[in-house]
Amino acid sequence: MKRVKNIKVLLDKYLEGETSHTEELELRRFFATAKHLPEDMAAYKPLFAYFDKEAMTEKQPHSARRLYFRYTWSAIAASIFLFLSIAGYNGYSHQSKDYVIINGEKSTDVRLAKEQARKALAEVSFSQEDIADDLIPQDMKETVQ
Amino acid sequence: MKQKMRYILSTLLLMVTISMSAQEGLYIGDIFEHYGKRHGSTMVQLSADVLKAYDITLYKSLSFRPDASGPYSWTWIIACVDQDKHRAKKIKESMFDGNLKSGYYQLPQVKKGINRFILFKTDDKRKRATLIYIEGTLNSAELVSMLFSKK
């Protein structure tokens, strides 16, 4: 009975915002364990139960397991993002896979690219002289002669 | 954990680098890279979309003027070609005064049914060189027919 009286005093102090940390703990502990409360005090039980729960959540450190999952998923997400970015870049770069660069200037004009390709082929092409000089591999020669 | 993340990211980046360079995986790729965008060079890339009729899936050519001196001069170019030549299954070269004048190389297939060729020719008078890389289902005979018809 005396304890209940003390608690009532503490409760008043609490409502006035004058309780110390130790006193607040005592209040919480009381409301958490008390089974039969006077009617005027019963209303505070859920309130302190809520504070208790909040305090527990705040105090509870991130478990190693939780951190592990958080980092793992972050790493996986980052990897997927990077992969998709690269895939996207490759997809984009494939769009201009036909091109010609003349004097550092790039053009995607296929007609111009083909013309330059023909020119390059002509530069490395064979002449009758080359064939006579045995320049072309034997298996190749058989086809052109 | 940070180490783990670093490891994952590094592995991923390495995989990307490998997949990008694996497009050719040849030393001549460095020549295209170095001289392709230079003044005085002409670099062409054509894909299967454009070259379907020729059974070519990839065509790359570079007509350029090699540096007279320095780390990327003729010596470096010839060394690059030479490195790839060692992997070739068919080689035909012509030399003049001990120098490579032209080279025709057929490389081993990397994909089944896809042949790979390197064509290289130097023009001493113009001090220029032409390098061609061809990938496709065409065989060496078809390639020669194509080259012969261009002259």
A-interface mutation test, from B5, B11, B43, B59, most A Cβ less than 10 A away: B43
Q: Which string of b and e fits B69-98 if b means at least 16 CB within 10 Å?
A: eeebebebbbebbeebbeebebebeeeeee
Closest to B1 in 3D by CA, of A121, A21, A78: A78
Q: Find the helix packing angle between A21-33 and A44-59, rounded to 10°.
A: 120
Question: What is the model's pLDDT at position A135?
Answer: 54
- Is A141 close to B12, i.e. CB distance below 8 A? no
Q: Are B134 and B58 in contact (CB under 8 A)?
A: yes
Cα(A136)–Cα(B91) distance, rounded to whole angstroms?
9
Question: What is the model's pLDDT at position A109?
Answer: 93
Cα(A37)–Cα(B20) distance, rounded to whole angstroms?
74
Low-confidence ranges of chain A (pLDDT < 50): 92-94, 141-145
Does the CB of A91 have a partner CB in chain B at under 8 Å? no
* Residue A133 DSSP SS3: coil
- Tokens standing for B138? 């065409």
Question: What is the model's pLDDT at position A140?
Answer: 55
Does the CB of A73 have a partner CB in chain B at under 8 Å? no
Q: Who among B47, B63, B121 is closest to A98 (CB)?
A: B47
Closest to B117 in 3D by CA, of B40, B50, B55: B55
Closest to A98 in 3D by CA, of A122, A86, A115, A119: A115
**Of chain A residues 9-68, which have a CB less than 8 A from chain B?**
67-68
Question: What is the model's pLDDT at position B16?
Answer: 45
Mean pLDDT of chain B: 84
- Is B140 close to A137, i.e. CB distance below 8 A? yes
Site of tokens 């502990």: A29
- Is A141 close to B144, i.e. CB distance below 8 A? yes
Question: What is the model's pLDDT at position B131?
Answer: 96
> How many CB atoms are located within 10 Å of the residue B21 CB?
11
Chain B hits for A86, CB-CB cut-off 8 Å, are 16
A-interface mutation test, from B100, B102, B148, most A Cβ less than 10 A away: B148
Cα(B7)–Cα(A20) distance, rounded to whole angstroms?
50
Does the CB of A137 have a partner CB in chain B at under 8 Å? yes
Using a 10 angstrom Cβ sphere, with 0-12 exposed, 13-18 middle and 19 or more buried, the burial of residue A18 is exposed
pLDDT tens-digit readout, B115-148 = 999 999 999 888 999 999 999 999 888 887 777 6
pLDDT tens-digit readout, B43-96 = 999 999 888 888 899 999 999 999 999 999 999 999 999 999 999 988 988 888
Shortest Cα distance from A5 to chain B (angstroms)?
Answer: 53
B95 contacts: CB under 8 Å, gap ≥ 6: B101
* Residue A96 DSSP SS3: coil
Chain A hits for B46, CB-CB cut-off 8 Å, are 98, 110, 113-114, 117
Question: What is the model's pLDDT at position B8?
Answer: 55
For the entire predicted model, the pTM comes to: 0.59
Question: What is the model's pLDDT at position B88?
Answer: 92
Which residue on chain A is closest to B11 by alpha carbon?
A: A79
Question: What is the model's pLDDT at position A11?
Answer: 79
- The domain spans of chain A are 2-59, 100-144
Q: Who among B1, B45, B150 is closest to A118 (CB)?
A: B150
Chain A hits for B13, CB-CB cut-off 8 Å, are 82
